[in-house]
Amino acid sequence: MISFRCDCTLGEHKAPVDGYVIESGAINKVSQFVEKYSKVCMICDETTYQVAGNKVEAILNNTGKLYSKVVLPKNPLPNYETIGNILVHVTNPKNESDIFEYSPLPDLILAVGSGTINDSCRLVSYRIGIPYSIVCTAPSMDGYLSAGSPTLFDNTKATIKATTPKFVIADTEIMKDAPWDMLLAGIGDMFGKYTGILDWELARDYNQDYYCNKIANDVIDATNKCLELGYEMKNRSAHCIKSIMEGFVVTGLGMAYTGNSRPASGAEHIVAHAWELEDVQNGEKPNLHGLEVCEGTRLIAEMYMMLLERTDDQHLKDLISKYVPYFKKVEEYCVKMNVPSPVKDANRIKKSILKALTMRDRYTILFYLNDRGLLEEYANEATDRLVNRL
Ligand SMILES: [Zn+2]
Ligand SMILES: [Zn+2]
């Protein structure tokens, strides 16, 4: 458990996390982290087994803690099939229990992977009451410490309540070799914190929402670090990967501390979810979450820039102005690094902005504009401005 006092209205923040390590060679610390467990079930897929699972297996074997291992087929999706697969294997007793073994079930699920593996394991963990932890293989999305599992079912995608990992092990030497688009998706997901935190500030001042200054500042500092080191991604620099992973941990802990996802997401995430949902409903595989969030960030930033040009509200102008340098740097980065934008159809983007307003009851710039009858006008113009640059 991590906890500290804070001068926000919550007074104290807590997260049910024992610890994390983000460094080169971090995988060797698996033995330290599993010390208090005796029966570890390792879950990975064919790809993540090659990337890190085989090393984790060797460490667990050396310490005598490997209870069972599940290697899922390549590229699993976060659906009932994957979740069922994990559930059936985790609860499969290795041996007949005897008088020396109190429970035939493992006492820790150790996931090795990124999005799907992490999301599915934490859901199983929550449902059967066995703690889980994660050895990360790609810095591709901000959900390592989230307490919800985005899951595909019945032709739709919804986030199901789950649990957070006990510990997170991120070996930058391993993660830097992740597929290129996954690296860009990771930094793109972090860029979303700029619009996300600005939305949170907007909600504080125009909707009387709860806000924690310390957590918001920590998230912005972590995002700035990603931006500062972002161009080093070209060389797959471990420093750059570390900054992204640290950003994920800071925002993930921020979510646990505040009990909501404000520190990680705002309108950019809701628009990205609208695109993702459309793909799922059309039977298509969704794009990488972070790439959609990155495009959503550029779109929402554009709407904020328009608002800055047009509003007479000095307080709002001051608020947005703080973020303008970040927005400009993000835009420059995306152009220079050729970050893919998954959605290019202007009509689809315009519609998704209006849809995003109805998808989540969270006060963002979309609500601010809608309350003033300006949403459609801004959606149309911001989309055209963005699409012209893609
Ligand atoms: Zn606080
Ligand atoms: Zn995200």
| Fold: same for 2-175 and 180-389 | no
- Across the chain, mean pLDDT equals 94
Contacts of 173 (CB under 8 A, 6+ apart): 24, 25, 238
What is the third-level CATH fold of 2-175? Rossmann fold (3.40.50)
Say which ligand is closest to the CA of 259. Answer: 1
What is the helix (H) or strand (E) element at residue 387, kind and residue range?
helix 375-389
pTM of the model: 0.93
For residue range 333-353, list pLDDT tens digits in order. Answer: 999 999 999 999 999 999 999
Are 104 and 79 in contact by the 8 Å Cβ rule? The answer is no
Q: How far apart are CA 184 and CA 139, in angstroms?
A: 9
Q: Write the secondary structure of 207-261 as one string of H (helix), E (strand) and C (coil).
A: HCCCCCHHHHHHHHHHHHHHHHHHHHHHHCCHHHHHHHHHHHHHHHHHHHHHCCC
φ, ψ at 223 (rounded to 5°)? -70, -40
Would you call 145 helix, strand, or coil by DSSP? coil
| 254 C-alpha to ligand 1 centroid (Å) | 9
| 143 C-alpha to ligand 2 centroid (Å) | 7
Contacts of 251 (CB under 8 A, 6+ apart): 142, 145, 190, 193, 219, 222, 263, 264
Rounded to whole angstroms, what are the CA distances from 284 to 104, 182, 210, 279? Answer: 40, 19, 37, 5
Select from 3.50.50.60, 3.40.50.2300, 2.60.40.10, 1.20.1090.10 the CATH code of 180-389. Answer: 1.20.1090.10
Would you call 111 helix, strand, or coil by DSSP? strand
| 10 C-alpha to ligand 1 centroid (Å) | 6
For residue range 283-319, list pLDDT tens digits in order. Answer: 888 899 999 999 999 999 999 999 999 999 999 999 9
Say which ligand is closest to the CA of 257. Answer: 1
Segment 248-261 mean pLDDT: 94
For residue range 48-63, list pLDDT tens digits in order. Answer: 999 999 999 999 999 9
- Domain-wise residue ranges, the chain: 2-175, 180-389
| 341 C-alpha to ligand 1 centroid (Å) | 35
Say which ligand is closest to the CA of 11. Answer: 1
What is the helix (H) or strand (E) element at residue 339, kind and residue range?
none
Contacts of 261 (CB under 8 A, 6+ apart): 146, 148, 255, 269
Q: Is the pLDDT of residue 98 over 80?
A: no
For residue range 127-167, list pLDDT tens digits in order. Answer: 999 999 999 999 998 888 888 888 888 888 888 999 999 99
Q: Which residues surround ligand 1, an ion (CB under 5 A)?
A: 6, 8, 212
Are 274 and 354 in contact by the 8 Å Cβ rule? The answer is no
Tokens linked to 288? 């990488």
pLDDT value of position 95: 62
